[in-house]
């Protein structure tokens, strides 16, 4: 294949021989790494210690989107559902699913700050557990051997279950002197692990985690005003980011939009309100989608992404961070880019279900509704 040519093969097996080891080159920096047989670009990068953006790792959220400059790739695991036909025509690929068929050159954002923090598997114990909302449990974890887990605000961890499956949860705070790791766990009907946390988890119980993960981290090379948008427990990593910027003593204006269905779902409203009291350049705007709940609570009614755009119809001069359910992320991405937000200044974390959890949830709903 001559320079400048490329191809995207969807779906199907990779077309390269097992003996050949392709090289991936990052166009902007010139950094290179090799990809093993049937290894995705993201997996190869992580093995080489190169930090590229990602979130769900399932090809759904689109946060790992990059541009294929040269080469061919295939999607033998999952189709690139987060890419529109137009995006694919413009050579976009999903790094978490794209498997090289030969040497590649890609244009992708590198996140150097993440590379310096070791990723490790640690046994932890529950040091505190309390209800934050009717269906949200706050859980605090500490390493049992005193090992300190470091992370950047906005990153997440995986809980490793006994059967080897992983359950991701955002870390709801910055690193603390006592080493405690704060999680906000929503009870999901049909989600076995969250049901166990909600019903049975107690102080002293032990878990195995892998951390830190993710690239939803603060970008400090900007003085632009910040808009943060959370949906439900998507507030957890947003809380960590806000605490980080406040600790830095930032003077950048920060608007925090937190969307939920009911007033009870805004489970740390007092904390967020206090932020706004303590920092004149910070505003907190809770948004309730249920009209009766909004009226009763005195909070703003509507969908959170629409509220943000009502206040800021032109996003040219902002940095935007958003975290929450896939539907909110998908709606926000399209509308925010249409409102002149440069794509490289949109950072997001999508709370996608693991495939087996989603299957259990759907089966449970089918049983309830007789479908």
Q: What is the CATH number of the domain that holds 129?
A: 2.40.30.10
Q: Is residue 24 part of a domain?
A: yes
Do 49 and 152 sit in the same domain of this protein?
no
Q: How far apart are CA 27 and CA 162, in angstroms?
A: 41
Q: Give per-residue pLDDT as tens, 114-145.
A: 877 888 999 999 999 999 999 999 999 999 98
Question: Both tokens of residue 32?
Answer: 């290179």
Question: Both tokens of residue 343?
Answer: 């794509």
Do 277 and 194 sit in the same domain of this protein?
no
Q: Give per-residue pLDDT as tens, 239-280.
A: 999 999 999 889 999 999 999 999 999 999 999 999 999 999
Q: What would the mean pLDDT of 42-61 be, rounded to a whole number?
A: 85
Greatest C-alpha distance within the chain = 66
Do 60 and 79 sit in the same domain of this protein?
yes
Q: What percent of the chain has pLDDT over 70?
A: 89
Q: Is residue 218 part of a domain?
A: no
Give me the number of domains the chain comprises. 3
Query: How confident is the model at residue 368, as a pLDDT?
Result: 35
Q: Would the pLDDT of 1 be above 70? A: no
Cβ proximity of 347 and 172 under 8 Å: no
Residue-range definition of the domain harbouring residue 326: 226-350
pTM, whole model, 2 decimals?
Answer: 0.79
Confidence of residue 9 (pLDDT cuts 50, 70, 90): low
Q: Would the pLDDT of 53 be above 50? A: yes
Q: Last residue of some domain: 110, 135, 168?
A: 110
Q: Where are the beta strands (DSSP E) in the chain?
A: 6-9, 23-26, 32-34, 65-74, 92-94, 99-100, 104-107, 120-133, 136-143, 156-160, 166-170, 181-186, 206-213, 226-231, 254-260, 282-288, 300-301, 319-324, 346-350
Q: Is residue 1 part of a domain?
A: no
Q: Is residue 359 part of a domain?
A: no
Do 41 and 130 sit in the same domain of this protein?
no
Q: Would the pLDDT of 158 be above 60? A: yes
Half-sphere CA count of 370, side-chain side, radius 13 A: 0
Do 205 and 187 sit in the same domain of this protein?
yes
Do 156 and 133 sit in the same domain of this protein?
yes
Q: What would the mean pLDDT of 225-233 be, rounded to a whole number?
A: 97
Q: What would the mean pLDDT of 10-34 be, rounded to a whole number?
A: 74
The larger pLDDT score, comparing residue 179 to residue 115, is at: 179
Report CA-CA distances (Å) from 24 to 29, 234, 268, 284, 370. Answer: 12, 33, 44, 43, 50
Q: Which of 16-25, 44-53, 181-190, 230-239 has the lowest mean pLDDT?
A: 16-25
Q: Is residue 358 part of a domain?
A: no
Q: Last residue of some domain: 213, 234, 260?
A: 213
Q: Is residue 292 part of a domain?
A: yes
Do 30 and 93 sit in the same domain of this protein?
yes
Q: Which of 266-270, 301-305, 329-333 has the lowest mean pLDDT?
A: 329-333
Do 61 and 123 sit in the same domain of this protein?
no
Q: Last residue of some domain: 110, 125, 147?
A: 110
Q: Would the pLDDT of 189 be above 80? A: no
Q: Cβ–Cβ contacts within 10 Å for residue 144, how many?
A: 12
The larger pLDDT score, comparing residue 363 to residue 153, is at: 153
Query: How confident is the model at residue 277, as a pLDDT?
Result: 95
Do 237 and 311 sit in the same domain of this protein?
yes
Query: How confident is the model at residue 156, as a pLDDT?
Result: 95
Q: How far apart are CA 70 and CA 75, in angstroms?
A: 16
- Mean predicted lDDT score pLDDT of the chain: 87
Query: How confident is the model at residue 19, as a pLDDT?
Result: 60
Do 106 and 126 sit in the same domain of this protein?
no
Q: What would the mean pLDDT of 331-336 be, rounded to a whole number?
A: 95
Q: Would the pLDDT of 232 be above 50? A: yes
The larger pLDDT score, comparing residue 201 to residue 12, is at: 201
CATH of the domain at 329: 3.40.50.80
Do 56 and 155 sit in the same domain of this protein?
no
CATH of the domain at 21: 3.10.20.30
Beta bridge partners of 121: 210
Q: What would the mean pLDDT of 138-167 be, rounded to a whole number?
A: 92
Q: Is residue 219 part of a domain?
A: no
Q: Cβ–Cβ contacts within 10 Å for residue 230, how many?
A: 29
Query: How confident is the model at residue 335, as a pLDDT?
Result: 97
Do 252 and 187 sit in the same domain of this protein?
no
Q: Cβ–Cβ contacts within 10 Å for residue 359, how many?
A: 12
Query: How confident is the model at residue 15, as a pLDDT?
Result: 46
Q: What would the mean pLDDT of 291-301 be, rounded to a whole number?
A: 95
Query: How confident is the model at residue 16, as a pLDDT?
Result: 46
Q: Is residue 72 part of a domain?
A: yes
Report CA-CA distances (Å) from 287 to 99, 261, 308, 351. Answer: 41, 8, 10, 19
Query: How confident is the model at residue 371, as a pLDDT?
Result: 32
Q: Would the pLDDT of 370 be above 50? A: no
């Amino acid at each position: 294949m001559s320079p400048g040519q490329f191809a995207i093969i969807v779906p199907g097996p990779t077309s390269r021989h097992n003996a050949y080891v392709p090289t991936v080159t990052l166009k902007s920096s010139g950094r290179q790494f090799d990809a093993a047989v049937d290894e995705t670009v993201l997996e190869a990068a992580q093995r080489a210690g190169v930090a590229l953006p990602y979130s769900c790792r399932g090809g759904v959220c689109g946060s790992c989107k990059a541009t294929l400059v040269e080469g061919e790739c295939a999607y033998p695991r999952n189709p690139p559902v987060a890419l529109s036909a137009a995006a694919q025509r413009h050579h976009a690929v999903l790094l978490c699913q794209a498997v090289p068929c030969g040497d590649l050159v890609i244009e992708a954002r590198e996140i150097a700050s993440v590379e310096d923090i070791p990723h490790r598997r640690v046994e932890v114990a529950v040091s505190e557990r309390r209800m934050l909302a009717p269906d949200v449990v706050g859980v605090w974890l500490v390493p049992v051997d005193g090992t300190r887990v470091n992370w950047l605000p906005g990153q997440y961890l995986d809980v490793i279950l006994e059967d080897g499956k992983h359950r991701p949860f955002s870390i709801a705070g910055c690193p603390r002197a006592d080493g405690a790791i704060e999680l906000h766990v929503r009870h999901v009907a049909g989600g076995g692990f969250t049901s166990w946390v909600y019903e049975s988890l107690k102080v002293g119980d032990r878990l195995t985690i892998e951390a830190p993960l993710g690239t939803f981290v603060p970008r400090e090379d900007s003085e632009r005003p910040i808009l943060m948008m959370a949906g439900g427990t998507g507030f957890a990593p947003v809380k960590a980011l806000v605490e980080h910027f406040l600790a830095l003593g930032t003077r950048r204006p920060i608007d925090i939009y937190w969307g939920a269905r009911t007033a009870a779902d805004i489970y740390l409203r007092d904390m967020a309100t206090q932020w706004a009291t303590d920092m004149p350049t910070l505003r907190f705007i809770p948004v309730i989608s249920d009209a009766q709940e909004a009226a009763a609570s005195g909070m703003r009614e509507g969908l959170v992404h629409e509220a943000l755009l009502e206040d800021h119809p032109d996003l040219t001069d902002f940095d935007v961070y958003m975290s929450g359910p896939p539907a909110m992320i998908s709606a926000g991405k399209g509308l925010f880019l249409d409102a002149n937000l440069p794509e490289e200044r949109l950072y997001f974390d999508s709370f996608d279900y693991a495939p087996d959890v989603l299957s259990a949830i759907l089966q449970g709903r089918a049983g309830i509704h007789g479908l």
